Amino acid sequence: MVAFSYRMPAGIPGEVNRINSAKIEAQIVTPAGTTGAPSQYGLAMVVDNTGGNVGNMRVASTADTAIYGFLVRPFPTGASQDQLGTSTPPASGIVDILRSGYMLLKLGGVTAAAKGGQVYIYTTTTDANNPVIGGIAAATSTSAIALPNAIFMGPADTSNFVEIAFNI
């Protein structure tokens, strides 16, 4: 169990907040072994054209701007209680995808987010300054795409969790 000494984080990556305005739909995740499965909650998802399922940005390129939504972290997950923010999404089966609404995500990169700022999605392998593939950042690079209809709702907290509005 995690103990918070001073302040709780703003949220958990993949957590939907302002639920009254959220549009969430169930989708089948790409099974492991074909092209891979999502590695964590809160990642940008694309349609896997080989099977019509959804998958994370693991094989996308900067030419792929068709972000389908974000992988939602259900609560509670699994048969036992797990620590928030440490769960691994299922490798196959049904998952929830945020198509429109507000979500808390882990901000990557070295640039701070600002209210109303553009959200960028990383599409290639990571380095020390980039988040995971499909993660978000507040600055563009050669390996990032701008996410249309998405903005930051304010700066990140001390744990680098930030709220975005997507396709509102």
pTM of the model: 0.82
**Residue 93 confidence (pLDDT):** 80
The reply to whether 2 falls in a domain is no
Rounded Cα–Cα distance for residues 16 and 23 (Å): 10
For residue 111, what is the domain's CATH number? 2.40.300
The reply to whether 4 falls in a domain is no
Q: What is the domain range of residue 119?
A: 15-166
**Residue 12 confidence (pLDDT):** 79
Rounded Cα–Cα distance for residues 81 and 99 (Å): 27
Of the two residues 56 and 72, the one the predictor is more confident about is 72
The reply to whether 80 falls in a domain is yes
Of the two residues 114 and 134, the one the predictor is more confident about is 114
The reply to whether 1 falls in a domain is no
**Residue 150 confidence (pLDDT):** 94
Is the pLDDT at 102 greater than 90, yes or no? yes
Which tokens go with 164?
Answer: 């975005």
Of the two residues 61 and 68, the one the predictor is more confident about is 68
Please choose, from the candidates 2, 40, 8, the residue with its C-alpha nearest in 3D space to the C-alpha of residue 157: 8
Ramachandran quadrant class, 5 (left: phi over 0; alpha: psi -120 to 50; beta: rest): alpha
Of the two residues 53 and 147, the one the predictor is more confident about is 147
Please choose, from the candidates 51, 58, 9, 62, the residue with its C-alpha nearest in 3D space to the C-alpha of residue 37: 58
Number of domains in the chain: 1
Is the pLDDT at 68 greater than 70, yes or no? yes
The reply to whether 9 falls in a domain is no
Which of 31-40, 51-60, 109-118, 138-147 is least confident?
51-60
The reply to whether 40 falls in a domain is yes
The reply to whether 8 falls in a domain is no
The reply to whether 117 falls in a domain is yes
Is the pLDDT at 31 greater than 70, yes or no? no
